[in-house]
Amino acid sequence: MSMVVIGIDPHKSSHTAVAVDHNGRKLAQKTVKTDAGGILALWRWAAALASAQVLWAVEDGRGLAGRLVRTLIGHGAEVVWVPPKLMAQCRARSCHDNRVSHGWTRIGSLTATQKGSTCDRGHT
């Protein structure tokens, strides 16, 4: 079974998710509100992609993504925190127009191949 990594860029009023395959190829992107309806929409969106194992890689903004991560873990999802410093390095190398998805493509391929070696696995 191949892995799909869903990278989350958390913000105060929205979360942007980018799904990438084990090769780091972008599969889909979705932005949702941070409320319960948005989180449910994100879960359903991910389930539609889930012909593979899903790993949620969330940029570490516990104040911004804590509710999302608690909900994901509560539903049995595998979640890793991605250090903001690592995302900043990926964004710095990315073109401006495609910054979010390109950064998550890099993180996704890293996470899928070195699962857990550079990310802090844990709960909020």
Domain of 113, CATH number, reads 3.30.420.10
CA distance 2 to 7: 16
CA distance 10 to 16: 7
DSSP 1-34: --EEEEEEEE-SSEEEEEEE-TT--EEEEEEEES
Its pTM surpasses 0.75: no
Total structural domains in the chain? Answer: 1
CB atoms within 10 A of CB 101: 19
Tokens 């998805």 found at? 101
pLDDT tens track, the chain, 124 positions? 578 889 898 989 999 999 988 787 889 999 999 999 999 999 999 999 867 689 999 987 668 888 999 999 999 999 988 886 655 555 555 544 444 544 554 555 455 444 443 344 444 3
Sign of CA dihedral 95, 100, 103, 109: negative
The whole-number pLDDT of residue 16 equals 92
Q: Which two tokens stand for residue 9?
A: 């860029």
Give the pairing of strands 78-82 and 53-59: parallel
Q: Which two tokens stand for residue 33?
A: 């509100």
Q: Which domain holds residue 45?
A: 3-121
